[in-house]
Amino acid sequence: MRICFLGESFVNGTGDLECLGWTGRICVNAQKKGHEITYYNLGVRRETSTELRNRWHREATYRLPKECDGRVVFSFGVNDTTIENGKTRVAVEDSIDNIHNILSQAQQLYPVLMVSPPPCTDEAQNQRIANLVQEFGLVCQELNIPYLNIFQYLQKSTIWREEARNYDGAHPRACGYEEFAQLVDRWEAWKNWFI
């Protein structure tokens, strides 16, 4: 099984001194259970959904040729909600259009999972992220793509919040990513890939 993880810095694992993030951790756990995985971390720092829309297909299909058991996990959206020049980097309606386009194309080619964007320490931005989390959930429901809302859990996590606050205001360290990974590891949709 080859799995591409596509998204932004949280997919990349920014801030984790162990260089695993949540994606590396869930793949290590799957390997320990005897599942052979080729793991591609395709997270790009500061990337918006518009930028991801422009690159994901080329990068995924290059790594997941038709003859292999290719899978794709997406997680993005935080950078869309960042304020620059007085407005969000990507308007909500454009974010919704981007995720719909990305996921509807991807599901024609591979089994697909979507993990919501996580929270940061800025409360105003968290409100914008929470709105996007809901909108993304509706798109996934419409497309019948499994969706894990990790925002609601990590927002209540003392470890996630404190590590992010003590680092750069957004990204946690290893313990925060471990919490993120545990949420994905327990997710039925992820576990079903290994039955």
Instruction: Say what the pLDDT of residue 20 is.
Output: 98
Query: What burial class does residue 59 get, using C-beta atoms within 10 Å of its C-beta: 0-12 exposed, 13-18 middle, 19+ buried?
Result: middle
Q: Of 17, 121, 103, give the one whose Cα is nearest residue 60.
A: 103
Three-state secondary-structure class, residue 50: helix
User: Residues of the chain with pLDDT > 90: what percent?
Assistant: 100
- When the pLDDT of each residue in the chain is averaged and rounded to a whole number, the result is 97
For residue 86, how many other CB atoms are within 10 A of its CB? 5
Instruction: Say what the pLDDT of residue 171 is.
Output: 97
Instruction: Say what the pLDDT of residue 62 is.
Output: 97
| pTM more than 0.85 | yes
Instruction: Say what the pLDDT of residue 189 is.
Output: 98
Q: Are strands 38-43 and 2-7 parallel, antiparallel or unpaired?
A: parallel
Q: What is the mean pLDDT of residues 22-33?
A: 97
pLDDT band at 139 (very low <50, low <70, confident <90, very high): very high
